[in-house]
Structure formats: structure tokens, C-alpha cells
Structure 1
């Protein structure tokens, strides 16, 4: 599998153990070039420091509020200043207010649910729509997002569960609409990884601890590379006939009933 010559935008690069960083690293290791992006302010500042640990410097470090159309338009313009086409986009973004997590499902106000949905699900459509003119100029392009199995209810995950279900549905509808343009849209369902986002979920440790015991292949919550490599596969020509799918990269956990 190679990504030589591929131009990939990775939105959601933060710390070295973040999924966005590991995906950017995997893309570069396979010969691709990356532009990295994150939210303005502290996330962008952290990203600017951490990208020095990538195998090679990114083409650019950009920032945008993924819930603001003006910011996303500026992001697309910034990408266009470096590249005249775009082979892939990675959406590694998720957020929910604290009152939408940790066992508070029945008491979460709509305002918090709305924010979680906007940042974590609707933004996949928004980001894709703003860079679509660049994706259309590629011979074949790919959009990949990250999910956490939304077919079942999880302890402590609360409103992020319905939010990921919305993300997975958005993935399918984008695949329907963009397929005729030669653009694939897929999601990767990851087992729990000890990222900053994961650690922000109250009770995350108890959920993650059960995974290595139940997954047939085992699972290392500190190792994001299997997930990052699967994303790289979906960005590659090897996945040219795959779209609208959720690829489970969880050590086989989702295959078991009990």
C-alpha cells in the first residue's frame, strides 16, 4: 500500500497520541504529504509544537472553527494556496460537553446535545462541502472519519453514542452523493484509545480496561497505529471500490455477543 504523491488534509491533529497525529504520521510513512489543521487557539498552538515529531514537516499548519462556515471557507482557501487538488480528507474531530457524558443521559439539555452533534457529526458534511472543489479535481479522492461503534449503547458514553450514529449516517449519505464524482466516503470504528478526547469521558478507564480481555486479537489502548494504518488504507487506491462503510478496527470486539 502506498500513498506516494497523495495530498491529504488531516483535521484534528493535537498531541502525539491523538488519532489525527498518528494518521498524519501513517500517511507520511507511506509517501503522502499532509496539511494539518485544528481549532484556533490552544488546540492549534499545541498542534504547531507537536508536528515537529512527524517524520517530516507538514506542508502547512492551518486552523479553523469546524462549526463556522467562514472559518471553513478560509481553511479551504488556505489548502488551495498550497495544492490545486486534494486526494483525501480525514475528519478526526469529536467533542461533547461534560454534561452529555458520564451517566447523565436523561438529564442532558438540548443545548449540549446540539453542540456535540454540530462538532462531531454535522461538521463532517461541512468540512467535506468546503473542500469539495479540491476533491473533485483529484482523479479519485477519499474522505475518512472516526467513529465508535454506534450500533449499541455503551456505559458512560451517553450522547456521544447518538452523535456517532449521526456521523455514521452522514458518512453513508455523503457516499451516496459524492460517489458519482469519484469520491469515496468511509468511517473507521476504533476500539478505545487513550487520547485526550478519550480521557475526557468520565469512566472511560473502566470501559477501556475490558477491551483487551474480550477482544479476540487483544487490544492495546495506548497504540493508535492499527487505526491510523486502516485510515491510510482507506485513503489509498487499494480501497478504490469501498465507500459508505464503517470499518471495524477493534481487535474483533464488535464481532462478539458476550
Structure 2
């Protein structure tokens, strides 16, 4: 018996099997959930192939969280496979590495910054609202962040977008709580994902974790983040919302 037995979960933003979203989907299935995953555009066909690597093949929905028509039709897409949702995972972020990452904070154009904020932060609200009618009498929304309390080398406007994501999660926790919907984030340490590879100078992130995380840190191991997401989707955190759970080997709690 798993902690998600009978749960219906949508995980938005699964591209490769080296993604946090894929890790969450795998653990969720192992814990008894029926899982749907999503992507869009050219990546959609990749996701359809990757879905076959899960313990059980998962339906793949077409969803661009910045597209109003996709969001409006999401409930109908979901109902083709399940009659509702108990949880949704937002594993989505994007920032143009050529213009707003890699030391380009002062030069980043608003067009690219606004797109990063839309896709990486505002879309948490958009996705939650699109799924809320399917989540009755309640459910869990879980997003993925990277510590936005400090400035990181090369992270630039994506760091600002993650700060906006963290604030958005708190306001969603406030406004959706009356409907029994919880909203929390998992803040993972640096992991070797597709998104990380797009960050110029990402290798600079790893050293401090390898040196200072009291539990140690393996940048190639996505399962701890996947397990934390699944725990927050489960009924084991019924009174927890607006929280950020750190899955970083304890690095965030250390000083020098």
C-alpha cells in the first residue's frame, strides 16, 4: 500500500527522465497514484517517448501554461483519463540563457524577463486555477524552486522569477485554503537536469553543496526531490501550506 493509493496526479513539465518532474512521476506511481504528465510544442513527442520509461505508461497531455486556450481546455483533457485530480505538480521554468542568465542581469530586456516571470512564476497560479475545479473536496499543489533568498552566480533573472514563484505559492496557499487546497514548494539543491544545463556557469553551484551539505549531496540523484514532492501530495501533510521544503542535504541551514 502506497501513500498515494487512489490519488490522481497531474505533473506538468516533464521532458526528459533526467527531470525532477519525471522523478516525481516515477515515485508517485510507485506509491499507487494514477499519473498524467504534460508538455507542449516540439518537446511533446519527446515526453510521449519518455512516458514509456515510467513504471506504468502515463497519458501525456498537451499543455503550455502560458497559453490561455490550453489552460481553458485542461479540465476536459484531464477528464478524458480520470474524473478529477487530487494533486498537481508545477515543474516548469524558463529563462532565455542568451539574454537573462549567465551574468546578464543588468542588460536583460523586459520582453525576456517578463516571459520568464510568466512561465516560471505566474503560471503556478494559472495552473492551480485551471486544476482547482477538478480538486474537490480539496487537494495539493506542489511547485519546484531553487533558493531565492540570495543571489547566485549566473542565475540572474531566473532567481528573480523563483522569488516571484515562492511569493505566488504563499498567496495561493492563502486564497485556496478555504477550498481545502494546499500549496507548497520543494526547494532542491543543484541537480543535473535539462534546465540546469541551460544555466551558464551552473557548475559553480555544485562546489558549495559538495563541501558544506551535512548530509552530503549527489547532483545526479533526483529521487529525494521526487519523494519530497510525493510526500506533499499525500495526506501526510494535511495542515501544511505556504511552506518551502528544502531537499538540499541541509545546505540551506549552514553558515560558512
- TM-score tier after normalising by the smaller chain length: over 0.9
Match of 2:74 in 1: 75
Distance 1:128 1:8 in 2: 13
Matches within 5 A, 1:117-156: 117-135=117-135, 137=136, 139-156=137-154
CA shift for structure 1 position 75: 2.2
Q: How far apart in 2 are the matches of 1:43 and 1:209? A: 31
CA drift of 1:84 comes to: 2.1
TM-score w.r.t. length of structure 1: 0.96
Structure 2 match to 1:35: 36
Structure 1 stretches of 4+ moved >4 Å: none
Match of 2:210 in 1: 212
Q: What do the CA deviations read for 1:212-244 (whole angstroms, capped 9, x no partner)?
A: 111111100000100000000000000111000
3-state DSSP of counterpart to 1:149: coil
| Matched-pair contact (CA < 8 Å) for 2:191–2:220 | yes
Provide the C-alpha distance between the structure 2 equivalents of 1:65 and 1:16, rounded to a whole number of angstroms: 19
Q: Distance in 2 between matches of 1:12 and 1:63?
A: 10
CA–CA distance in structure 1, aligned partners of residues 101 and 191 of structure 2 = 17
Partner of 1:92: 91
Deviation at 1:70, TM superposition (A): 0.4
Partner in structure 2 of residue 247 of structure 1: 245
Equivalent residues in 2 for 1:151-166, closer than 5 Å: 151-166=149-164
Aligned length in residues:
254
Provide the rounded CA distance (Å) in 1 between the counterparts of 2:206 and 2:34: 32
Which residue of the partner structure matches residue 11 of structure 1?
12
Tell me if structure 1 keeps the 8 A contact 2:5–2:32. Answer: yes
- Tell me the TM-score normalized by structure 2: 0.97
2 CA distance for matches of 1:170 and 1:39? 23
Deviation of 1:74 (Å):
1.8
Structure-2 separation of matches of 1:11 and 1:90: 6
Q: CA-atom RMSD, angstroms?
A: 1.0
Name 1:237's counterpart in structure 2. 235
Provide the residue aligned with 1:55 in structure 2: 55
Could you say which residue in structure 1 is the equivalent of 2:24?
Answer: 23
The CA deviation at 1:77 is 1.4
2-side partners of 1:144 and 1:35: how far apart? 15
Q: Secondary structure of 2:252's partner?
A: helix
Q: Deviations over 1:40-96 (max 9, x none)?
A: 2x21111000111100111x2111221011011222210022222210000000000
1:202 maps to 2:200: yes
Higher relative helix content: 1
Distance 2:57 2:109 in 1: 42
Deviations 1:181-225 (A, max 9, x none): 110000000001100100100000121233111111110000010
Q: Secondary structure at the match of 2:236?
A: helix
Q: Distance in 2 between matches of 1:148 and 1:141?
A: 23
For structure 2, the residue ranges without an aligned partner over 5 or more in a row are none
Which residue does 1:171 correspond to in 2?
Answer: 169
Structure 1: runs of 5+ lacking an equivalent? none
